[in-house]
Chains A and B, each alone.
Chain A
Amino acid sequence: MAEVMRMQNITKIYPNGFVANKDITFAVGEHEIHALVGENGAGKTTLMKILFGMEAPQEGKIFINGKEEKIANPLDAIAKGVGMVHQHFMLVPSLTVAENVTLGAEPMKNGLFDFDGAVKATQEIADKYNFNVEALQKVRDLSVGQMQKVEILKALYKGARLLILDEPTAVLTPQETEELFEQLFKLRDSGVSIIFISHKLEEVMRICSKVTVLRHGRCMGSLDIEGLNEAAISKLMVGRDVVLKIDKEDPKPGKPVVEIKDLVKINSIGKNVLDGVDFTIHEGEVVGIAGVEGNGQTELSEVLAGLTGFTSGDVKLNGTSIKGKSVREIRDQGMAYIAEDRMVEGVAGDMSIKMNIVADRFTKPDFKKGLFMDAKKINDIADQYIKDFEILCDGREQPVRMLSGGNIQKVVVAREFTSGANFILACQPTRGIDVGTAEMIRKTIVRKSREEGTATLLISADLNEVLECSDRLLVMRKGKVVAAFPKANQVSEETLGEYMLGVKEMTQSEMEGLL
């Protein structure tokens, strides 16, 4: 099989001395979906940035179709047939799909932008690969999954023969993921090679034919998927066996901490995003919520955290309603919140680690000295948590933005797990972070519920996570709780899928006593 791309002995050392890539050799063949895996900070992103012309390596060569090439910038990469779909989409929301796809290489007619030509060209490629997007739709009206299709279309329109997908399934629902895989197979068969970056090993096992594992900036080898299993890849990635199972004793639920009564929220376009949600979380238990994303989980967490209001119903936290309360007041009532998007709501990226750690408590008398903040106490606490939570950093003054995703999340959990709250609202707590950190977060959630009697609501798109960590498990669909299970770890993924996708729905009486 011919090689379409080879990166030979790539070494990249950042100006601060950090060795991101050390002597990595990585090749992708024709008709191949090649997985690139590794923990956060292992060097995957840097390696791909080099291939896409966003970073220049100190050493090493890049060959495309057997010919040595210098890739100066992303445009150069595109011209050489390399396309990249970033984790954060590069789209213009108010423009149509066709305009987004052709932007930068617009078809022209009589000196004017040929809109019809753009629509036609876009629709042609979309239809060819069964992409379910309308060229005339505005991007802002699309689902996240469709936006990703637009990104892939952009690359294909510009003639990409090698497609880099950076954690493409992190933002997708299970069905969208399925759909994407079908399309990737189709692309592969038509001669487009794909580099698939992912944390989800079962996906890698399913769709890739080869896998390259990076660890601490070094290549641990490129292997054929055939004959490998998840545990073997995982071992190469982290260098130890990751326990995918969490051992936990049965919960001893105490008094109710969070009581949600007939909660309704109508959003700005008039849709009932929460439609009569009704359940209780007790001391010492972890309640998990599974569901296809976009079925009210995000809205539920925003209401519970006090970020948005609700239309009717009530939520009581430790016996007092949170209606009309500010986030601060709700936190004082005993809530801790691991937000879904850590960069938006979890941390202030440009501020230091220590300030982010004390962000929820610096106004408390404990952290004050007269009119001023108690610098010594804040420093001590920050240093303590950096040690306890193993935050990899240059020190407590380092801006959070400079850290890797997993370490940023450690800063968030260091704050939230130590706030003294008896209710932890954890939304996608391990999304997009390395296996080691994810394991630490999951174990801490369970440990806190058992040892400290914390009530936890775990909302996650990662089914393994909700099944393993939760005690009781609820399924949300279309703003409602449609199923409830007393023991999460006894539910199979298949059963769960049926409720998530609306094949089955439990009646109120079936869920009686489980809410």
Chain B
Amino acid sequence: MTIDWIAFIAEGIRMATPLVFAALAALICNRAGMFNMGVEGMILCSALGAVIFAHYGGSVWIGLLGGIIIGLATGMFIAFASLTGKADLYLTCIAFNLMATGGTVFVMYLLTGEKSTTSGAFRSYQIPVVDIPIIKDIPVLGRIISGQSLITYIAAAAVFFMWFFLKRTRIGLRIRAVGENPKAAESVGISVNKIGYISFAICGVLAGLSGAFMSMSWVTFFMKNMVNGRGYIGLSAQNMAKGEPVGSALASLLFGFTDALATTLQNQTNFPVEFLEMLPYLATIFAIIITSIIAINKRRRIEQGAAK
């Protein structure tokens, strides 16, 4: 048994793409003071939306746009329920995720007559893979950095865009203020609801990109429950990084690698599949526990250490 490590790393980055978007989508809502568990369902809906738009539009780009539109629409739906309708955000998100799981299958059945996948009925579209000149010829690095899906590069750019957006724009500043102390923001005339809607809109676009990647790059069709907890993993990734974009991306990368490890081992060894499929989620739990223990220990060390 030999494992192709370069392929493994490239696969890790690929697998991290939807997680990075999921993490950023959760992050922007979190910074505005909303713990948006609905990211999971938003990605699932976008994944189906992308496939449908691509099929009827006849173009991968219409598919990509469709994914984003559905992401935006679902984001607005949750925002409306929780901000305007004043419904509890957690309950709304749980209900929405359940609805997305059943609803996507229902819509798929209506359009294709299939209940598990669109792969037979809809044409497959794939977001182009980009070969970067010069870099692609560098040994090792070329195989890792070049030849990824276009969306993977967009994800990398989105991380830095998010950082800049939060740090340097007025809306970014207001989002941070609202997230930390809505009363303070309200008292100086910032509409907390408006900021909430803006955050959900950005979240929707990012979730849309994540969904489009799932159904037009990871695979080239939609299948039942294909997001499989990636939204939640993104949520934990940004939580571990305390809402910092770059840290969230790194945490997502870590989870991407466990995901890749599972697929690699699955293809190249005879480990039990069920165990391997558990890995990314197990890694999430351990990562959360470890980050929290580190934080507690750090504090305890300071409190005890200087005593002697």
Binding site for B on A (CB under 8 A): 74-75, 78, 89-95, 99-100, 103-106, 108, 112-113, 115, 154, 158, 264, 266-270, 272, 311-312
Asked if residues B184 and A103 are in contact (CB atoms below 8 Å), the reply is yes
| Cα(A104)–Cα(B302), bound, Å | 38
CA gap between A89 and B303 in the complex, in Å: 29
Question: Shortest beta-carbon distance, A94 to chain B, in Å?
Answer: 6
A sample of 28 inter-chain contacts (CB < 8 A) reads A74-B187, A75-B189, A89-B184, A90-B184, A90-B188, A91-B184, A92-B176, A95-B177, A95-B180, A100-B184, A103-B177, A103-B185, A103-B190, A104-B190, A105-B189, A106-B173, A113-B168, A154-B188, A266-B304, A266-B306, A266-B307, A268-B299, A269-B302, A270-B305, A270-B306, A272-B306, A311-B304, A312-B307
Are B307 and A264 within 8 A (Cβ)? yes
| Alpha-carbon distance between A92 and B304 when the two chains are bound, in angstroms | 31
Contact (A106, B185) CB under 8 Å given A92-B176, A92-B177, A93-B180 = no
Closest beta carbon of chain A to B298's beta carbon, Å: 9
The answer for the CA separation of A311 and B62 in the assembled complex, in Å, is 64
CA distance A162 to B145 in the complex (A): 61
Closest chain A residue, CB of each to CB of B171: A113
The answer to whether A108 and B170 touch across the interface, beta carbons within 8 angstroms, is yes
The smallest beta-carbon distance between B168 and chain A, in angstroms, is 5
Chain B count of residues within 8 A CB distance of the other chain? 24
Q: In angstroms, how far is the closest chain A Cβ from the Cβ of B3?
A: 44
Which B residues, 174 to 213, have Cβ-Cβ distances below 8 Å to chain A?
Answer: 174, 176-177, 180-181, 183-185, 187-190
Question: A95 to B170, alpha carbons, bound, how many Å?
Answer: 13
Given A112-B169, A270-B305, are A104 and B176 neighbors across the interface (CB < 8 Å)? Answer: no
- When chains A and B are docked, how far (Å) is the Cα of A74 from the Cα of B299? 41
Other CB < 8 Å A-B pairs besides A112-B170, A266-B302, A268-B299, 7 of them?
A89-B184, A90-B183, A90-B187, A92-B176, A92-B184, A108-B170, A267-B302
A95 and B8 alpha carbons, distance in the complex (Å): 41
Q: How far is the CA of A272 from the CA of B177 in the complex (A)?
A: 32
Which residues on B sit within 8 Å (CB–CB) of A105? 188-189
Residues of B within 8 A of A100 (CB): 184
* Bound CA–CA A354/B299 (angstroms): 39
Cα of A489 to Cα of B288 in the assembled complex, Å: 56
Query: How many angstroms between the C-alpha atoms of A103 and B190 in the bound complex?
Result: 8
A269 to B: closest C-beta gap in Å: 7
Report chain A residues within 8 Å CB of B302. 266-270
What residues of chain B lie closer than 8 Å to A272, measured between beta carbons?
306
Which residues of B sit under 8 angstroms from A264, Cβ to Cβ? 307
CB distance from A125 to the nearest CB of B (A): 16
Which chain B residues in 107-164 approach chain A with CB under 8 Å? none
Rounded to whole Å, the gap between the CB of B167 and the closest CB of chain A is: 9
Contact between chains at B306 and A113 (CB < 8 Å)? no
Query: Is B38 an interface residue, CB under 8 A from the partner?
Result: no
Whether the pair A90, B181 counts as a contact (CB closer than 8 A) is: yes
Task: Output the nearest chain B residue to A265 by Cβ-Cβ distance.
Answer: B303
CB-based contact B303/A266 at 8 Å: yes
Give CA–CA (A350, B172) in the complex, Å. 34
Enumerate the 7 nearest inter-chain pairs by beta-carbon distance, A residue then B residue, closest first.
A104-B188, A90-B184, A311-B307, A75-B189, A270-B302, A90-B187, A113-B170
Do A113 and B169 have beta carbons less than 8 Å apart? yes
Residue of B nearest to A271 (CB): B306
Complex contacts, A106 vs chain B, CB 8 Å: 170, 173
CA distance A254 to B191 in the complex (A): 61
Contact B189 A112 (CB under 8 A): no
| Cα A74 to Cα B169 with chains together (Å) | 25
Residues of A within 8 A of B169 (CB): 112-113
Near A by CB (< 8 A), chain B positions 286-308 give 299, 302-307
Q: Which residue of A lies closest to B299 (CB)?
A: A268
Q: How far is the CB of A394 from chain B (nearest CB, A)?
A: 27
Q: Contact check, B185 vs A104: say whether CB atoms are below 8 A apart.
A: yes
Contacts of B183 in A (CB 8 A): 90
Chain A residues whose C-beta falls within 8 Å of the C-beta of B172 in the assembled complex: 113
Q: Which of B173, B190, B304 touches A99 (beta carbons < 8 Å)?
A: B173
Taken together as a complex, chains A and B put the C-alpha atoms of A440 and B187 apart, in Å, by 37
A267 pairs with B303, CB closer than 8 A: yes
Cross-chain contact B181 with A112 (CB below 8 angstroms): no
Contact assessment for B181 and A92 in the assembled complex, using a CB-CB cutoff below 8 Å: yes
Q: Which chain A positions have C-beta within 8 A of B187?
A: 74, 90
| Residues of the A chain whose Cβ atoms lie less than 8 Å from the Cβ of B188 | 78, 90, 103-105, 154, 158
Residues of B within 8 A of A154 (CB): 188
Q: Are B306 and A103 in contact (CB under 8 A)?
A: no
User: Once the chains are docked, how many angstroms separate the CA of A83 from the CA of B189?
Assistant: 13
Contacts of A91 in B (CB 8 A): 181, 184
Contacts of B190 in A (CB 8 A): 103-104
What is the distance, in angstroms, from B144's C-beta to the closest C-beta of chain A?
34
Determine how close the nearest CB of chain A comes to the CB of B307; give it in whole angstroms. 4
Known: A74-B187, A92-B185. A103 touches B173 (CB 8 A): yes
Q: Using Cβ atoms and an 8 Å threshold, which residues of chain A touch B189?
A: 74-75, 78, 104-105
Q: How far is the CB of A395 from chain B (nearest CB, A)?
A: 30
CB-CB under 8 A from B176, the residues of chain A are 92, 94-95
Complex Cα spacing A100 to B173, Å: 10
Shortest B299–chain A CB gap in Å is 5
In Å, the complex CA distance between A311 and B307 comes to 7
Identify which of B174, B303, B307 contacts A268 (C-beta below 8 A).
B303
In this complex, which of B173, B183, B188, B189 has the most chain A Cβ atoms within 10 angstroms of its Cβ? Answer: B188
Check if A92 sits within 8 Å of B180, measured CB to CB.
yes
Which chain B residues lie closer than 8 Å to A74 at the CB level? Answer: 187, 189
Chain B residues with CB below 8 A from A270, complex form: 302-303, 305-306
Q: C-beta contact mask, B55-71 vs A, less than 8 Å → 1, else 0?
A: 00000000000000000
Chain A residues contacting B173 (CB-CB under 8 Å) are 95, 99, 103, 106, 113
Contacts of A95 in B (CB 8 A): 173, 176-177, 180
* Chain A hits for B180, CB < 8 A: 92-95
Question: Nearest A residue to B177 by beta-carbon distance?
Answer: A92
CB contacts (< 8 Å) of A269 on chain B: these are: 302
List the B residue with the shortest CB-CB distance to A99. Answer: B173
Q: Would you give the shortest CB distance from A323 to chain B, in whole angstroms?
A: 14
What's the Cα separation between A115 and B303 when bound, in Å?
Answer: 36
A-chain residues with CB within 8 Å of residue B177 when the two chains form the complex: 92, 95, 99, 103
Alpha-carbon gap, A272 to B180, bound state (A)? 29
B13 to chain A, nearest CB (A): 31
Question: Nearest chain-A residue to B180 (Cβ)?
Answer: A92
Give Cα distance in the complex from A406 to B156, angstroms.
57
Distance in angstroms between the alpha carbons of A46 and B137 in the assembled complex: 74
When C-beta atoms are compared, the residue in chain A nearest to B183 turns out to be A90
Distance A266 CA – B303 CA, assembled complex (angstroms): 5
Q: Which residues of A contact B181 (CB under 8 A)?
A: 90-93
